[in-house]
Chains A and B, each alone.
Chain A
Amino acid sequence: MSLNRREMLAAGAATALGGLPRARAQGGQVIRLGVLTDMSGPYRDTTGPGSVVLTQQAVQDFGSRGFQVEVLQADHQNKPDVGANIARQWFDQGIDAVVDLPTSSVALAVNQIAREKNKVHLNSGAATSDLTGAQCSPNTVHWTYDTYMLAKSTGAAIVKTGGDSWFFITADYAFGHALERDTSNFVRSAGGRVLGNVRYPFPATTDFSAFLLQAQASRAKVLGFANASTDTVNCIKGAREFGLQRSMKFAALLMGIVDVKSLGLEAGQGLNLTEAFYWDLNDRTRALTERVRAKNEGRPPAMVPAGCYGAVLHYLKAVADMGVPAAKASGVEAVNRMKAMPADDDAFGASTIRPDGRCIHPAYLFEVKAPGESRNPWDLYKLAATTPGEEAFRPLAEGGCPLVRS
């Protein structure tokens, strides 16, 4: 197929070079979205290609309302400098909004640039609640989740069921510390106690058994994992092996459907975790899943890609409402319009965006099913509790966002 390859290369070059001028010829009636995500690192499976697919789905579901939408993608490799460079280049080339931005450090870097260039930052993948707190920006919408929401939903729910003494196994860096701190606060304010913690070197740790044994010796009722992805999976696998489930309940503070799949139901059953989206939640989420499944390597969407869907769809509605030229002219105005309009989509249902950029929707506490309860390969969760949007996120006044004071 060497002939075809050559043709494809030529066609690719033509599209790359021809894309921008052609759009200008149509009087600027093109909105350009850039999905900036982790395509090759540890968060690839929870964000990455899935976020691109769901962004494209949002564009498709939005339909054509007098303007075109183009979707570009790039890999930020979880490096703030790489992400910042791509974003800067994109904005200079006429990208109107960056989408997804997992990895908090990259998100915070791009947050500054979007503000400086007056473009739009639709964040789904980053965990840090600083995006709508001290570092909030009038150009940013933080759609899906944050550390505060995870800590509150999972932490408070477990204390309520009698888990009033905790031990933490924490990744020794900013994210782990923040998650442990936020969860400890909820545990204490709900009347519980924190009996101890251990902070392990990240990412140089593969075996957690020594820490698990210390957790067991603390005689705490709950073992909180303030870490993410493979580390959490290895912790839980180890904890089961050493029989910790006989005396302790596990709280995986940041865990998603992809991690549960990787852990397997055998080892994961009974775990509590929090997500803002699950494909099998209701008829609308199931309908969305059916639409994207084939494009998403046969998998249902995970939470972060679903957040890209919701944020992009709402942004496009705001653009249609205010007109393409106005939306392209000012990122702040586009975000203001998003905040002024109620949002509604298949992934999150009805939601609103607060002045600090926080998108408000319910948080769901799930319990991982036992192997016998699961009816299909992705039937992994049962809904345990729902926290209404107004309670799920940090109160507006407590975040320290300068936009709120003014």
Chain B
Amino acid sequence: MDDIFGIPAPLLFGQLLLGLINGAFYAMLSLGLAVIFGLLNIVNMAHGAQFMMGAFCAWMLLAWAGIGYWWALILSPIIIGFTGIVLEKLFISKLYKLDHLYGLLLTFGLALIIEGVFRNEFGSSGLPYRIPPELSGAWDLGFMFMPIYRGWVVVAALILCLATWLIIEKTRLGAYLRAATENAALVQAFGVNVPRMVTLTYGFGVALAAIGGVLAAPIYSVNPQMGSNLIIVVFAVVVIGGMGSILGSILTGFALGIVEGLTKVFWPEASATVIFVIMAIVLLARPAGLFGRA
């Protein structure tokens, strides 16, 4: 087959597909961050730790209770989302009147504590979690060998992102949420319990991170640091997409996954940096992000 920029075409197609798969994780995580920031004005630095907790929860369900992957996909977000609700009630709700910086520092501190506790309990080397038998194996696409599980991750991420976007943009509940961010007092005057809605929104954002963690568990080593490596990139994705823009974070997540994938072919050493270079350029040209409203 022909070469494209000196790279064999099959290899390039393969890398595009892989970029899309990584983009699925970026999209899922940045979506949760965008929802939380958009509605709570909190920069949730604990998101990576909550992603990690989701993966650990799946591992605990399997190792301690014999509960498999599919139930974990439902139970883990519920359990971890609930811990998010507790955090919001105890700590985060006290900060809404203060500057963004306080929320950022609080959640960053929480992330360090959570990761430290998990490292003490489970060690640093990681725990094994098997791919569910229904999704193991691979398709031979001709130009590459495509693991079925990775395909499933892309499908699951797309469904989740789309559903979240529909709920927030197209339903009555979503309309309340959006209205509450514009003018909470007015929405409350119409009889909507805004504090409860905000609490549940945080829980929902955390649950999204936990689902990401469950989806990641069979692919990556389940270890306490698994979220902290991802979260910085995901923040860059959110900034590029425009803080708080739901659709922006989804599209940017997938797009940057692909850009990163291509960089890994042409200049692997720069693959960790490319997203931040793009972030710098976007901030210079459009400070509100690609999809943000200035």
Contacts and interface: CB of A to CB of B under 8 A. Distances in A.
B269 A172 contact: yes
A403 B116 CA distance: 43
B109 interface: no
A258 B125 contact: yes
B11 interface: yes
Contacts of A229: 124-125
Contact of A241 (B8, B124, B138, B221): B138
Contacts of A384: none
B119 A266 contact: no
Contact of B225 (A42, A201, A214, A258): A42
A6 to B, nearest CB: 24
Contact of A264 (B15, B21, B125, B130): B130
Nearest to B138: A243
Contacts of A198: 268
A241 B131 contact: yes
Contacts of A41: 124
Interface string B7-39: 010110011001101100000000000000000
B128 A44 contact: no
A62 interface: no
A83 B22 CA distance: 37
Nearest to A170: B268
B109 to A, nearest CB: 16
A97 B270 CA distance: 42
Kindly name the residue among B8, B11, B116, B125 whose own CB sees the greatest number of chain A CB atoms within 10 A: B125
Nearest to B128: A264
Interface residues of A, number: 41
B138 A209 contact: no
Interface in A114-173: 172
B291 interface: no
A70 B66 CA distance: 44
Given A206-B226, A206-B230, A267 B128 contact: yes
B126 A230 contact: yes
B284 to A, nearest CB: 23
A40 B21 CA distance: 32
A262 B119 contact: no
Interface stretch (B67-75, B142-150, B169-177, B204-212): B142-150
B124 A43 contact: yes
Nearest to A202: B272
Contacts of B159: none
Contact of A210 (B229, B233, B261): B261
A238 interface: yes
A213 interface: yes
Given A237-B221, A242-B147, A264-B128, A40 B18 contact: no
B30 to A, nearest CB: 15
Across the A-B interface, give the 6 residue pairs with the lowest CB-CB distance, nearest first: A264-B128, A201-B272, A204-B272, A210-B264, A45-B125, A262-B126
